[in-house]
Structure 1
Amino acid sequence: MTVSSRKPAVSCSRCDAVCCRLTVVLMPGDDVPPHMVEHSESGPDVMARSEDGWCVAVDRDRMCCSIYSQRPAICRKFAMGSAYCREEREAYRQRNERTIPLELAPD
């Protein structure tokens, strides 16, 4: 593998926690604390999100999952650095490049 074809290393500690902003569908057998679940009459149960879109299980002070040993099956399958992880990180980066800043820079 040449240097130019190498993919940059992926690390959760240097990420915007993109995976923690995705919709997490709960599966039968997931043992998530009930207060962290959003129920829908027309769809599957999902992990609840905070007002800014983050999964409510994320400990924002330590940037880690507060229910790691009880995390949903889909979270257990999400592999850091996998093709899906890289695709989501890139889509997130591109979305944020196109956004208009909330505040204008001073002249």
Structure 2
Amino acid sequence: PDPALYPDIAEADCRLVVMHSAQRDGIATRTGHLRPEDALDEIVRFFEARVSALRRSGVAADRLILDPGMGFFLSPAPETSLHVLSNLQKLKSALGLPLLVSVSRKSFLGATVGLPVKDLGP
């Protein structure tokens, strides 16, 4: 979220899912090309900065859930998402917070199994 919202978020009592995405000038973009071998370090750097900013604004760490982003939020290359999925424990250990992974109907899954996204189910 916009950092201007952080104080309001701090006053809420709900959990907050913070999702990583490839970014250009601070704006989520679907045109990133994060290489598999760079993905974990990039995701950790992103979350360290975002969690630090949220914590400085008063958001309790126990309210945070981290989503590493999948598919085009990482890279158009399916290998990047597969690399992240196979290293979730490393991310969890590095970040120390719960993870949420949303992979439904993602194009990287279709590319992996050889099916169009429309045939992957609801």
Is TM-score (shorter-chain normalized) higher than 0.5?
Answer: no
Higher helix share: 2
Give the structure-1-normalised TM-score.
0.27
**Structure showing greater Rg:** 1
Give the structure-2-normalised TM-score.
0.25
